[in-house]
Structure 1
Amino acid sequence: MAASVSVSGANAALQMALALQSPATAAGLATALQVSVPTLHRQLQRLPAGRLVTAGKARRARYALRRPLRGGFEDLPVYVINTQGRAELLAPLALLHPEGSHIGFGDSPWPVPQAGRDGWWPGLPYPLSDMRPQGYMGRQFARAEHRLLGVPEDPSRWTDDEVLHVLTQRGDDASGNLIVGDPAYRAWQVARTAQLTPLEPEETAACYAALAARAVTAGVPGSSAAGEFPKFAAQRAVPTGQASETSHVLVKFSGADGSPAVRRWADLLVCEHLALAQLLRMPGLSAARSRILAHEGRTFLEVERFDRHGAWGRSALCSLETVNAAFLGDVSRDWVRLAKRLAHAGLLTADDVTRVAHLWWFGRLIGNTDMHAGNLSFRPVAGHLTVAPAYDMLPMFEAPLAGGEVAPRVFDPPLPLPPERAVWHAACAAALAFWRAAADDARISAAFRARCASHGDRLEAAARHA
């Protein structure tokens, strides 16, 4: 009896020590418990089955206790969908006491920080970060589903555990190519089996108008691609003559009341389409394919999802914001500075740094004042990163104020430092082409076309002094 009580007490002490530090080394645990390392190893073997997570070889070996997610201690399967639409198990994800998680990405294309090489993560692993519901669609999703899922209505208040719970239940169409948990995977299977028919060209605009009305009034459960502009996800048949890799699109839309603010947002949607088209013409750069539709007073910007391929294929994706948090921890918003630091860390090539610089200067020279780190993304390839197609590129300095007022603004093009001159002039040529295209586009209001012409003149004048 005494021996049994002793073993029970030792197990309790060991679990308490593991619950306070995660992951822990054998030497650290032995010191905390005041036992030898061989004794500690024997105690580890006596822990209840399934509670212990172990990873790392020899002196890198670490130990942690599994932490339950809503009462369940089972590891969560993380599935990966390839570009052909085939699913495979990537690895199991375990939650740890007192915080953090464990999952290995060693055989995947994702680069892994030094601290995560044995699968230990201080929170959720960064490849899952951009899957969380966020932006306009994330807020609408949370508004519609929060009671059923048992989470706060505001997704910005969700803990990592709440994000993970939501992903396991509704994360079948999140950004990128990962699916967490069997319920979400089964939902993806059901959708695939259903073989929904994409919207035909003649019905697309009317269906978009109905989806926009629904998004405004009731919220849209489902995909959680990031962004603040009102939007929804859809599948449309590929229009005749349009180069396309997938039927999956995100659709941004304007209001329908014809007010000055709504007119300005509609103009900016056309500008975004023109900016993306211009980027597609720049050597070495890629951008999301887009088109403009109009129906029932609304303007729609349809943007093809570049993390989708064919009907069911997917590819991995992560934002600069997420990569920065995982590898750099830099507070800067300067894309070029962050790209150079990622290159110094061996994650980006010099050519990709140049691509980022061209995007950065093009955005600034078309007045894009919303170039935060969530608006640039990368694809993981063989343990490195490559620049994903550009998106969310438009002259946001011309956006209406929060109250709806359309205030006049002066465009003051930023000038380069001498080492930046070559990239600046290349971006300037593309930006000038954008302003001229916007000034001539009949889908844009006459007053805003005049502003675009003026902005182009100011940029042309600035180029003579750069």
Structure 2
Amino acid sequence: MRPVQLSPEALRQQLARQAAQAAPDLAAALGVSVPTLHRQMARLPAGEVISAGRARRTRHALTRRLRGGQTQLPVFSVDREGRLQTVGPLTLTAPEGSHLLLAAAGWPVPEEARDGWWPGLPYPLHQMRPQGYMGRQFARLSHHRLQVPEDVARWSDDDALYVMSVAGSDLSGNLIVGEAACQQWLAERAQAQAPVEEADLVAHYLQRADEAVAAGVPGSSAAGEFPKFTAARALTGAATPHVIVKFSGADDSATVRRWADLLVCEHLALETAATLQGLNAARSRILAGGGRTFLEVERFDRHGEAGRSPLCALDVLDAAFLGRGGSQWPVLTAALAGLGLLVDGVEAAVQRLWWFGRLIANSDMHTGNLAFVPQEGRLTLAPAYDMLPMRLAPLAGGELPARAPEFALPLPEERPAWHEACTAALGFWEAAAVDVRISDGFRALCGQHAQALRSLAERA
């Protein structure tokens, strides 16, 4: 009986049906022996097939090109001292997905990705996707040049990866994907301008705010999101010159005044959150000028002039490890802890921060607003950020809500975290009630919340 002949095209078609197939499965589907399969794969052009995994875990996949270009992109990381490291090659696979080994870089890896196979992009790259106000602003300004949809929410994984690879020199965390983006980062580092001095800072922020408003996303504050920009400023004692700056409008309307009050409240809330056991918070300060209020927040994924550290938000971790959805920080964090992914003390610290947020009327604690830092295959908690009483923000039409305090009591097992958070939250409301940077009416409102929480604490 003549042996079955295996054509290169038949092999390609079978490989293209599914990424990461085992040799016995491929051979059975093609009606050939495993040795015949291996001989034919060896005859394909170099780089057309990727094989990974040890012994019986070895899988094979057909590679595919990103927009007709490369099948493989180098992935780099920048350490805290600003030194460039190679993480490894990211290879795109057919019909979808990718391959990248991440464990050696300190990232926890789902069991199904231990050999580097990912159904889409590796999850740390999802953290790098442009998002929020600045992501939408970038897409609006650059979509024609980069040939991606104007709406960043409509970007495919390949769209996002292409943008990262050609324009991703300053994204969240410490990874850089692609040689072009890396060369861009090296050039920016070599030609970096000096950080803005304190004496010139407010004028610089006013100019940047005007530019952001002119080119940015209309209606951001009305949608519950502050407009913002990034900057580099010189400040004695700062861990890094790199900051994210949120800002209010420049007029004296009641709506703009409320947003300005909330910026001050965010600063006070971050200062207070940092006093809770097991927690740090992003360092911030308030500046004002030209009718605007600015909240300057140090980037905690940046260190010194050029150093960086990795970062990943809870929504991305949920999608990679849990697939639960929902917005309850403690529930998702407990599930991550159950998988052995959290450093000791993180779960309890998240409980305190969750209750603190609820007791300062933060109605915007979605899973993108809690982040973690990978550390030798596990996760530690990143500093707190975006913590403010959003329940008191103006409504979409600009009206100021007349909302009475709504504070929840804990279940018995939650009482220790609740009491610690309550003490801190009461300190926040009391500080806001006397801070002269806040308008008279809002200070009075903060005083009412302080009294309501004080009364509740006496009954808890």
Assess same fold via TM > 0.5.
yes
Alignment partner, residue 93 of structure 2: 96
Residue 117 of structure 1 pairs with residue 114 of structure 2: yes
Distance 2:167 2:11 in 1: 37
- Deviation at residue 183 of structure 1 after TM alignment: 1.0
Q: Distance in 2 between matches of 1:244 and 1:384?
A: 28
Q: Is the 1:68–1:95 Cα contact (8 Å) retained in structure 2?
A: yes
Residue 334 (structure 2) aligns with: 340
Structure-2 residue corresponding to 1:455: 449
> Is the contact between residue 66 and residue 73 of structure 1 (CA under 8 Å) also seen in structure 2?
no
Report the Cα distance in structure 2 between the residues aligned to 1:271 and 1:417, rounded to whole angstroms.
28
Q: Which amino acid in structure 1 is aligned with residue 374 of structure 2?
A: P
CA–CA distance in 2 between the matches of 1:369 and 1:434?
Answer: 16
Deviation track 1:382-435 (CA, whole Å, cap 9, x = no partner) reads 000000000000000001111111121111111100111111000000000000
Specify the SS of the correspondent of 1:20: coil
Matches within 5 A, 1:154-165: 154-165=151-162
Q: Deviations over 1:19-67 (max 9, x none)?
A: 0011111011111101111111111111122101110011100000111
**Identity among equivalent pairs (%):** 57
Offset at residue 260 of structure 1 (A): 1.1
Q: Which amino acid aligns with 1:192?
A: R
Q: Which of 319, 343, 348 is the equivalent residue of 2:313?
A: 319
Provide the rounded CA distance (Å) in 2 between the counterparts of 1:271 and 1:154.
31
Partner Cα separation in structure 2 for residue 373 and residue 236 of structure 1: 29
Query: Map of 1:136-175 to 2, 5 A cutoff?
Result: 136-175=133-172
Query: Is the contact between residue 109 and residue 380 of structure 1 (CA under 8 Å) also seen in structure 2?
Result: yes
Counterpart pick for 1:376 among 370, 373, 380 = 370
Residue 385 in structure 1 maps to residue 379 in structure 2: yes
SS in structure 1 of the partner of residue 294 of structure 2: strand
TM-score by length of 2: 0.96
RMSD value, Cα: 1.4
Output one character per residue of 1:81-111: Cα deviation in whole Å (capped at 9) or x when no partner. Answer: 0000000111010111000000101311100
Aligned residue among 196, 207, 210 for 1:210:
207
Match of 1:129 in 2: 126
**2-structure distance, mates of 1:350, 1:272:** 28
Between the aligned partners of 1:404 and 1:247, the Cα distance in structure 2 is 34
Instruction: Provide the secondary structure at the position in 2 that maps to 1:80.
Output: strand
The one-letter code of the counterpart of 1:82 is D
Query: What is the distance in 1 between the residues matched to 2:177 and 2:249?
Result: 35
Q: How many residues align?
A: 452
Looking at structure 2, the residues matched to 350 and 284 of structure 1 have their Cα atoms a distance apart, in angstroms, of: 10
Moved more, 392-401 or 46-55: 46-55
Moved more, 409-418 or 382-391: 409-418
389-398 or 64-73, larger mean C-alpha shift: 64-73
Q: CA deviation at 1:350?
A: 4.2
Contact 1:101-1:124 within 8 A present in 2 as well: yes
Query: 274-283 vs 412-421, which deviates more?
Result: 274-283
Rounded Cα–Cα distance in structure 1 between residues aligned with 2:271 and 2:28? 63
Is the 2:14–2:26 contact (alpha carbons within 8 Å) kept by the matching residues of 1?
yes
- The 3 A distance-change label for structure 1 pair 172 and 371 is same
Does 1:255 pair with 2:252? no
Q: Distance in 2 between matches of 1:120 and 1:292?
A: 45
Query: How far, CA to CA, are the matches of 1:372 and 1:77 in structure 2?
Result: 32
Q: Which residue is equivalent to 1:31? A: 28
Q: How far apart are 1:294 and its partner, in Å?
A: 0.5
Q: TM-score, normalised by structure 1?
A: 0.95
Gaps of 5+ in 1: 221-226
Of 39-48 and 208-217, the range deviating more from structure 2: 39-48
1:330 aligned residue (314, 324, 327): 324
What is the alpha-carbon distance in structure 2 between the residues aligned to residue 376 and residue 461 of structure 1? 29
Match of 2:9 among 12, 19, 28: 12
Q: Which residue of 2 aligns with 1:427?
A: 421
On the 8 A contact 2:73/2:90 being kept in 1, the answer is yes
Residues 97-127 of structure 1, C-alpha deviations (whole Å, 9 max, x = no match): 0000001013111000001100000000001
Q: Name the structure 1 match of 2:407.
A: 413
**Deviation of residue 133 (structure 1)?**
0.5
